[in-house]
Amino acid sequence: MTTSRIETSSTRVDTADIAEYALRLGDDALVLAQRMGEWVSNAPELEEDVALANIGLDLLGQARALLTYAGSYLGRTEDDLAYFRTDTEFRCAHLMCTPRGDFAVTVARMLIVAGYQKELYTRLADSADETLAGIARKAAKEVAYHLDHARMWTLRLGDGTAESRRRIQQAFTDLWPLVDELMRTDPVEQRLVAAGIAVDSSTLRERFIAAIDPILDEATLTRPEVPSAAGGGRFGRPSEHLGHLLAEMQVLARAHPGATW
């Protein structure tokens, strides 16, 4: 990896920090895209099969842009980063890695992630880094749809049958310990925040909760009061589920490295 520094209006920034930041966002999108793709031909209705596939493709597009940008500083291609890293080299939050579960789990995770990403990308669109800002502006429009779609299903399940309500409430309870990892900051992010490049994740919580709570209330659901999980995906401590996901996602590329179609 070649490390260099670039100038912003106020400070000099290590490009390794920018690469790390882009990897975190790109890995989140890539791994969740893979999870959404697992619903193809398995969704509860044909229209939803198409909707989830399209959401997965949106996430994949975000991942490609972010990994390409990270790779421009790391001397690697987007495919190198997607298919030829181990689980400890990925930087995705644990929430993205949890197994697909039932449809309620996917809806709950979609609502959480889209709510978080909407706040993140809306603010990142003003980044001093023109590439990150451009990616964020496009992504913000996409995740606004993801949030709306997740809201619609959260209401349908929460205000549906006793069984659908039980399942969606349980899904939120099971996933909520992983939310805190999305809202943690660290020295890499703070150096980029100081340069006007990154978003301070710790400042996203208030607006995230303000967006999610009314949806849960309307769906007659309760925001879980549960302890936070340790996390660590940002720092090379992957979820136990990530290795299994990568084994499936990477098998073809690793079996035929350099193959083209």
Q: Using one digit for the tens of pLDDT, what is the confidence trace for 67-87?
A: 999 999 999 999 999 999 999
pLDDT the model gives residue 260? 79
pLDDT > 80? residue 90: yes
Q: Using one digit for the tens of pLDDT, what is the confidence trace for 198-216?
A: 999 999 999 999 999 999 9
pLDDT the model gives residue 33? 98
Torsion of CA 223, 228, 233, 236, to 10 degrees: 180
Q: What is the mean pLDDT of residues 228-251?
A: 96
Dihedral sign (CA 178, 32, 74, 83): positive
HEC profile of 206-217:
HHHHHHHHHHHH
- The confidence band for 147, taking pLDDT boundaries of 50, 70 and 90, is very high
Q: Is the pTM of this model over 0.95?
A: no
Q: Using CA atoms, how far apart are residues 118 and 8, in angstroms rounded to an integer?
A: 25
From residue 222, alpha-carbon distances to 115, 147, 183 in Å are 16, 18, 20
Mean pLDDT for the chain overall? 95
Residue 183 tokens read as 């809202």
Residue 127 tokens read as 């980044």
Number of helical H runs and strand E runs in the chain:
11, 2
Do the Cβ atoms of 81 and 23 come closer than 8 Å? Answer: yes
When mean pLDDT is compared across 4-13, 69-78, 183-192, the lowest value belongs to 4-13
pLDDT the model gives residue 12? 81
Residue 137: its H or E element? helix 130-158
Do the Cβ atoms of 67 and 22 come closer than 8 Å? Answer: yes
Q: Using CA atoms, how far apart are residues 154 and 167, in angstroms rounded to an integer?
A: 11
Dihedral sign (CA 116, 114, 56, 98): positive
pLDDT the model gives residue 11? 67
pLDDT the model gives residue 70? 98
Q: Which long-range contacts (CB under 8 A, 24 or more apart) does 40-47 make?
A: 43/103, 44/103
Write the CB contacts of 141 (distance below 8 Å, at least 6 apart in sequence): none
Enumerate domains of the chain plus CATH numbers.
13-255 (1.20.1260.10)
Tell me the sheet residues that pair with 13. 6
- The confidence band for 231, taking pLDDT boundaries of 50, 70 and 90, is very high
Distance linking the first and last C-alpha atoms of the chain: 29
From residue 192, alpha-carbon distances to 16, 63, 127, 171, 258 in Å are 11, 20, 10, 34, 35
pLDDT > 80? residue 190: yes
Q: Using one digit for the tens of pLDDT, what is the confidence trace for 30-46?
A: 999 999 999 998 888 89
Q: Using one digit for the tens of pLDDT, what is the confidence trace for 46-64?
A: 999 999 999 999 999 999 9
pLDDT above 90 covers a percentage of the chain that reads 91
Q: Which amino acid is at 238?
A: P
Q: Using CA atoms, how far apart are residues 256 and 261, in angstroms rounded to an integer?
A: 11
When mean pLDDT is compared across 5-19, 165-179, 232-246, the lowest value belongs to 5-19
